[in-house]
Structure 1
Amino acid sequence: MVEFDYIVIGAGSAGCVLADQLSKDAASTVLVLEAGGSDRSFWIRTPIGYGRTFFDPRINWMYETEVDPNTGSRKSYWPRGKVIGGSSSINALIYCRGMPGDFEDWEALGAAGWGWDTVRSHYEALETRVGEDGSSSGSGPLYVTNVRREIHPCNRHYFAMAREMGLPVTDDCNGPEPEGVTHYRITTRAGRRWSSADAFLKPALKRRNVKLVTNAMVERVDISGRRATGVSVLLAGGRQQFRARREVIVAAGAVNSPKLLQMSGIGPGELLNGMGIDIVHDNANVGGNLQDHLGINYYYKASEPTLNSMLSPWWGKLLQGMRYVLFKRGPLGLSVNQCGGFVRSRAELDRPDQQLYLNPVTYTTSPSNKRPIINPDPFAGFILSFQPSRPSSRGRIDIRSADPAAAPRIVPNYLSTQKDLDDVVAGGRLVQRMARTPAIRAFATQAMAPDIERFDDDAILEDFRQRCGSVFHPVSTCRMGNSEATAVVDHNLKVFGVEGLRVADASAFPNITSGNTNAPTIMLAHRAASLILQDRPRGPVPIQT
């Protein structure tokens, strides 16, 4: 049986960071297990390739939720990375630390030591910030790039709109004044996607004390008594067990981390009994407290060329493809989301309650023989979009069977609180005011149905129920807190009731941050590694059985 000091389950946004930080201790050995395979793909490396990986089952778990009665009795599609780098290899690249108040809320919910001043120091250690002139600051492995010079010129209308409305405009939502309309920073380096695997895992693999095993489906965490001792894994050649001298760290993401704990006997006792799984520790919070962001797009035909004009015709695709291949410049080197920011729907609020996405493109999803394809529309168009930043609704993720290959049951329970309904109406009213500004009136020739300007509050809410979609930010299914009465892990990310086991990914968020969750997930893993290393024993550690 092969033994390692640390076993990290998942080579995604968090797992790659853990592999890098833990292996800096030369006396420790680290095994990283990833269910997916290689990230060597043109569409992964190319930033706007997001649209091509969105429905690719080779690198994407392609989850679906249960039918949700609060969103038009529809299922929601949830892409999740099944590849080295995890969702950081297939996401839309936006890098948002979150609002400082998000982390003060974490600490208030029992995550002692996770306030803004602490987490900010980890962000600063992680990042190299690349300016629009190519200069850089910081010395971290994660490149966060200012692409202002590359974004489409029609974006100027959004900033004019903000000024006409009296909304703040900020240089950087990760800077000292994060509130306001901005152009988003993205995780690219020299025009290529810079995933968590690029920043952390690949440098770690140059060390002799790190081993990566791909296409490895972890069946369960092996637990003896009350201690995690290793993992059982399904590989192409059959089942294999690996032993952990020190700790097993689950970093499989907000969907698969609670699933794995439940498969290992840690979760709601009634559910586990029904699946024939021996109960190690009964904790109904495993899989509970699920949160996610919902967003909606409003489409407009434009009075001047937008990205559609560049990327819809075949010759435009060819031209921009050549430009990218030769120079790593142009729209293929950007996120589909170019501008947006965090704003207050009403001036009297004490913090931003909405995140905006202001995109110089409209698109349709077309069927194909293999998988749907996202294509820009054949006319100039743009999008106004909002997502309520801090939803309070909470859902659940639970296993359907004892089969490790079976997708879990995802019940999002969207829009189940009055606060969330009120936030939707507030966001819709904000977009109405945006659409009525002189800047947008000049930019838009026609609102594509449905036209939000015609809606009252009830219509805003009903349209949102029928058309909204996940922004793919699931969190909190193994949430951090004071005790197992409300949480799964403590403020050191240790699983309640089991020794030698931690969860370190977005599932541990006490609640959802205001914006995109990739940056705070990477930060959490970075701090998790420091906590783990602080606890490491000195000298040889015997396997406990």
Structure 2
Amino acid sequence: MEEFDYVIVGAGAAGCVLANRLSASGRNNVAVIEAGGNDNHIWIKVPAGFNKTVYNDKLNWGYETAPGPHIDGRKIRFPRGKVLGGSGSINGHLYVRGQAADYDTWAQLGCRGWSWTDVLPYFKRAESRVGGSDEVRGRDGPLVIEDQRDPHVLSNAFMAANETLGLKRTPDYNSGDQEGTLLYQNMMRNGLRWSPVDAYLKPAMKRPNVQVITHALVERVDLDGKRATGITYRQHGQTKQVRARRDVILAGGAINTPQLLQLSGIGNPDDLAAIGVAVKHALPGVGRNFRDHYAVRVSALVKGAGSLNERSRGLRLVGEVLRYAATRKGLLTTAPSHAGGYFRTRPGLETPDMQLYFAPASYGGGRYGTTVLDTVPGMTLGAAQLRPESTGHVRALTADPTAKPEIQPNYLADQIDRDALLAAMKYLRKLLATPPLADYVIRENFPGPDVQTDEQWLAHARATGSTTYHPVGSAKIGTDPMAVVDPASMRVVGMQGLRVADASCMPTMVSGNTYAATNMIAEKASDLIPET
């Protein structure tokens, strides 16, 4: 049985950071256990390859949600990366920190040390960014953040239409103040995806004190009373164990971390009894407080703009491939969302509650859940409520570690969420009618002009909305009875030698895409863990 100081479960956004930072001094031996394989895949490296990776069974856990009671009983595909880099190797590249108020709220909820002032140094430490103020942006970190290399004319028209409607253009939405319209910043370097593997893990793997074990499914955390001593995993049909002299650190994300805790006998006693797992440590909050961003789309047929739909076929695609090879610009450098914005859907809000997404392309007639571009010229406008009130759960359905857990985000359960999306959908239609974006519109084709009433709009949201791949909160930090992780040490409450540092720790949803916040959590945890 091998033995290490730290055993990290999961080589995604958080696990890669932890492996790098905890091994940097050379004093600690670190093992990283990853269920997937290596990231040596052409479509992981090419930014536009998102369309090829996000639903690729070889790179993905293949999850789906449980039927949603407030979305017409639908199940929704719920991709999570199963590869070195985790979802950071298959995601949409967008770098979004959220609002300063998000983290101040965490501190107000009892998570001292997690206010915006507290976490900003970790955001800065993580990144290499050209542009923005030195007060809020980092210059020499491992995570490269670039501006778009080749903004599309439709993206510029989208931003101009937002300005016409009173939404200012924001100089840097990652400053802590998001409000405004913008071009998204991307985790790319020289026209290639810059994943957590590139930024953190590959440098760490050059050190003799780091070992990465792939194709290894962790079955349980091994316990001696209230202390974690290591993990048991299965690799190539064999059961193996690794011991941890100091800590086992779970970094599997908001789905796999609570499931592994439950399989190890840590969680709500009723949940554990339902799957026949003996209670080793009762923690009612494991798997609860689960949240995700739910988004809706409006799309239109366009003219005179050269949307990505046409550029992705035939001889034009050949030209794009040659252009990418020569200049690292063009179609293949694009992310799923190009432009966006943050605005308030109702009076009385102190900060924006809605995020906008824009792409000079359209997919499957406008619907989520497909990455197939339409054959006719099109564009897509999307919206997601930033801080949903609806919460759900993640729950193991069996003691079998190969079985998929139940994922229930409970989308649109809360009236506030429904009202916010209703206002957003109306705003998206207004944008389509506002010059200069309107100058390119032939007609709205999804959901189409037949949708007019509030009831019809909400029916559209229930029938066609989907995840934006931002699950959080299922093992939250905090001090209340439902807290799972101590915010001062990242230890699982009531346990020794067991810590969690990933998106599952977020006590509330951050205002936007969750990669940046997850990266920050791991950066901060890498300081807290050796000290506590």
Secondary structure of 1:406's counterpart equals coil
TM superposition shift of 1:131: 5.2
Instruction: Please tell me whether residue 379 in structure 1 is matched to residue 376 in structure 2.
Output: yes
* Mapped partners of 1:436, 1:330: distance in 2: 28
- More deviation in 298-307 or 84-93? 298-307
Please identify runs of 4+ aligned residues in structure 1 that moved more than 3 A.
none
Deviations 1:115-156 (A, max 9, x none): 001111101111001359xxx960000000011x41212222
Does residue 434 (structure 1) correspond to residue 446 (structure 2)? The answer is no
Q: Which residue of 2 aligns with 1:317?
A: 317
Residue matched to 2:456: 459
- C-alpha distance in structure 2 between counterparts of 1:348 and 1:300, whole Å: 32
Aligned partners of 2:91, 2:231: CA distance in 1, in Å? Answer: 29
**8 Å CA contact 2:253, 2:503 repeated in 1:** yes
Q: Which moved more, 1:78-87 or 1:420-429?
A: 420-429
**Which residue matches 2:143?**
142
Alignment of 1:179-194 (within 5 A): 179-194=179-194
By how many angstroms is 1:273 displaced? 2.1
Q: 1:61 to 1:309 in 2, by over 3 A?
A: closer
Distance 2:50 2:350 in 1: 35
Secondary structure in structure 1 of the residue aligned to 2:241: strand
Summarize the Cα distance change of 1:137–1:279 in structure 2 as closer, same or farther, 3 Å threshold.
closer
CA distance in structure 1 between the aligned counterparts of 2:460 and 2:449, rounded to whole angstroms: 9
The corresponding residue for 2:486 is 490
CA distance in 1, matches of 2:96, 2:40: 26
Q: Which residue pairs with 1:127 in the alignment?
A: 127
1:86 Cα deviation after fit:
0.3
C-alpha separation in 2, matches of 1:101 and 1:498? 31
- Given the alignment, which residue of 387, 391, 398 partners 1:390? 387
State the distance in 2 between where 1:417 and 1:310 align.
Answer: 40
1:458 counterpart letter in structure 2 = E
Identity of aligned residues (%): 39
Q: 1:442 Cα shift? A: 1.5
Q: Is the 8 A contact 2:248 2:499 kept in 1?
A: yes
- Counterpart residue number, 2:400: 403
1:163 CA drift (Å): 1.5
Q: Distance in 2 between matches of 1:38 and 1:233?
A: 18
Structure 1, unaligned runs of 5 or more: 367-371, 536-545
CA contact (8 A) 1:312 1:377 kept: no
Deviation at 1:223, TM superposition (A): 0.7
Alpha-carbon offset, residue 177 of structure 1: 4.2
Matched to 1:217, the amino acid is L
Partners of 1:517 and 1:208 in 2: CA distance: 32
Residues of 2 paired with 1:103 and 1:456: CA distance?
37
> For residues 336 and 446 of structure 1, do their structure 2 counterparts lie closer, same or farther at Cα, with a shift above 3 Å needed?
same
- Other-structure match for 1:336: 336
Give the stretch that moved more between structures: 316-325 or 47-56: 316-325
| C-alpha contact 1:337 1:359 (8 A) present in aligned 2 | yes
Distance 1:140 1:392 in 2: 34
Give matches, 1:211-360, under 5 Å: 211-236=211-236, 238-346=238-346, 348-360=348-360
Q: Does 1:474 align with 2:475?
A: no
In the alignment, is residue 86 of structure 1 matched against residue 86 of structure 2? yes
Within 2, Cα distance between the matches of 1:269 and 1:348? 41
Is there any run of 5+ residues in structure 2 with no aligned partner, and where? none
Q: CA deviation at 1:490?
A: 1.4
Provide the rounded CA distance (Å) in 2 between the counterparts of 1:191 and 1:312.
17
User: Partners in 2 of 1:178 and 1:493 — Cα distance?
Assistant: 28
Counterpart of 1:80, as a letter, is: R
How far residue 79 of structure 1 moved from its aligned partner, in angstroms, is 0.5
Structure 1, 179-188 or 297-306: larger mean CA deviation: 297-306
Whether the aligned pair in 2 keeps the contact of 1:396 and 1:410 (CA below 8 Å) is yes
Residue 463 of structure 1: how far off its partner (Å): 1.0
Residue number in structure 1 paired with 2:421 = 424
- Report the alpha carbon displacement of residue 365 of structure 1 after superposing the two structures with TM: 8.6
107-116 vs 1-10, greater mean Cα deviation: 107-116
State which drifts further: 417-426 or 36-45. 417-426
Structure 1 residue 453 displacement after superposition: 8.2
The alpha carbon displacement at 1:514 in A equals 0.9
SS at match of 1:58: helix
* Helix, strand or coil at the partner of 2:394: strand
| Local SS of the residue matching 1:256 | helix
Q: How many residues align?
A: 525
Aligned residue number for residue 5 of structure 1: 5
Look up the equivalent residue of 1:464 and give its one-letter code: A
Q: Distance in 2 between matches of 1:57 and 1:223?
A: 33
Give, in angstroms, the shift of residue 488 of structure 1.
Answer: 0.7
TM-score by length of 1: 0.93
- 2: CA distance, partners of 1:398 / 1:360: 38
Aligned equivalents of 2:31, 2:349: Cα separation in 1: 47
Say whether the 8 Å CA contact 1:306–1:380 is kept in structure 2.
Answer: yes
Q: Out of 464-473 and 228-237, give the one that drifted further.
A: 228-237
Separation in 1, partners of 2:106, 2:124: 19
Does structure 2 retain, via aligned residues, the 8 Å contact 1:365–1:374?
A: no
CA contact (8 A) 1:250 1:502 kept: yes
Q: Deviations over 1:269-292 (max 9, x none)?
A: 122123221211112210111100
User: Once the 2 structures are TM-superposed, how far is the Cα of residue 452 of structure 1 from its aligned partner?
Assistant: 6.1
Letter in 2 for 1:138: R
Describe the SS at the equivalent of 2:384.
strand
CA distance in 2: counterparts of 1:33 and 1:312, whole angstroms: 38
User: Structure 2 vs 1, CA of residues 82 and 107 (structure 1 numbering), >3 Å: closer, same or farther?
Assistant: same
Distance in 1, Cα, partners of 2:365 & 2:469: 17
Equivalent in 522, 527, 531 of residue 530 of structure 1: 527
Distance 1:329 1:181 in 2: 23
Inter-CA distance 137–250: structure 2 relative to 1 (3 Å threshold): closer
User: C-alpha displacement at 1:410, in angstroms?
Assistant: 1.0
1:96-111 alignment to 2 at 5 Å?
96-111=96-111
Distance in structure 2 (CA, Å) of the matches to 1:308 and 1:202 = 33
Which one-letter code corresponds to 2:213 in the other structure? V
1:225-266, Cα deviation, whole Å (9 max, x unpaired): 110010001111511111101011000011000000001000
Cross-structure match for 2:58: 58
Structure 2 match to 1:541: none
2:281 & 2:237 partners in 1: Cα distance? 31
Deviations 1:477-503 (A, max 9, x none): 0011104x1211111321012111111
